[in-house]
Homo-oligomer: A and B are copies of this chain.
Amino acid sequence: MPEATVARLPLYLRSLLEAQHANAATISSERLAELAGVNAAKVRKDLSYLGSYGTRGVGYDVEYLLFQMSRELGLTQDWPVAIVGLGNLGQALANYMGFGDRGFPIVALCDADPRVVGTEVHGVVVRHVEDLPVIAAAHGISIGIIATPASAAQDVADRLVAAGVSSILNFAPTVLSVPEEVSIRKVDLAVELQILSFYQQRRSGGPKLPPLDIPVGVED
């Protein structure tokens, strides 16, 4: 299955849950496309990878497609999560209950700061990052969330991989190297805000500062 298709499956899942919530028994590819924010031809192509082709004039069976999608995405079981780095962002993530509700219970927290180790966040005691191999084995950690500063992130990624964790969600603003068999996804909230400020500035008439008087890299 192409990576781009995999990345759209969660959007279809969410859209199907909306349709189910509205008591729809079937859904057309056009409606599903609208809810997911993609085009209908892409929906049909993506769903064909699941072996789902819909019925002409009827569409797809919502319940069955939901089941297929959940199973394909591995959501018929829980995937225990460890958060490493309990600064502002890590604490926010540990306190956010949206993960556990969706099959990603946060079962372990780690930090390197002795002032943080031993404290409790949302009912979980923070352990030292050196204990990761023991923690990962004891809790069957599937996914490691890195919420450290950029400077510590590669070391933490290496520790997670060494502890046998093969899925990583990285919130640290840096690019990490991991072995090919490890999956890594990246969330950088500042990047999203900076993209918005680019367009915001365009709308308000462009940069406010005059160009620097440097003879290379002149703006057009």
Interface residues of A (CB under 8 A from B): 6-7, 9-11, 13-15, 18, 34-37, 50-53, 55, 60-61, 64-65, 67-68, 71-77, 79, 81, 88-89, 91-93, 95-99, 102-104, 142-143, 150, 166-169, 173-175, 181, 183, 185, 187-201, 203, 207-209, 212, 214, 216-220
- Distance of A29 from chain B, by nearest CB (Å): 13
Task: Given A9-B198, A53-B217, A197-B142, decide whether A173 and B103 contact each other with a Cβ distance below 8 A.
Answer: no
Contacts of A36 in B (CB 8 A): 175
Flag if B209 contacts A65 (CB, 8 Å): no
Copy count, this protein chain: 2
> How far is it, in angstroms, between the C-alpha of A128 and the C-alpha of B65 when the chains are bound?
40
Flag if A143 contacts B11 (CB, 8 Å): no
> How far is it, in angstroms, between the C-alpha of A199 and the C-alpha of B3 when the chains are bound?
10
Contacts of A214 in B (CB 8 A): 61, 64
Flag if B195 contacts A10 (CB, 8 Å): yes
Contacts of A81 in B (CB 8 A): 193
Partner among B6, B79, B217 whose Cβ is within 8 Å of the Cβ of A64: B217
> How far is it, in angstroms, between the C-alpha of A196 and the C-alpha of B186 when the chains are bound?
11
| Listed A/B pairs (28) with beta-carbon separation below 8 Å | A6-B195, A6-B199, A9-B194, A10-B190, A14-B188, A18-B150, A36-B175, A37-B175, A50-B217, A51-B217, A67-B212, A71-B207, A74-B198, A74-B207, A77-B208, A79-B193, A79-B197, A81-B193, A89-B98, A102-B190, A103-B197, A104-B190, A143-B196, A166-B200, A167-B199, A183-B195, A185-B192, A185-B196
Contacts of A77 in B (CB 8 A): 208
Flag if B14 contacts A174 (CB, 8 Å): yes
Flag if B212 contacts A64 (CB, 8 Å): yes
> How far is it, in angstroms, between the C-alpha of A156 and the C-alpha of B173 when the chains are bound?
29
Flag if B190 contacts A98 (CB, 8 Å): yes
Contacts of A185 in B (CB 8 A): 192, 195-196
Contacts of A196 in B (CB 8 A): 79, 143, 167-169, 183, 185
Contacts of A7 in B (CB 8 A): 191, 195
Partner among B9, B75, B98, B197 whose Cβ is within 8 Å of the Cβ of A73: B197
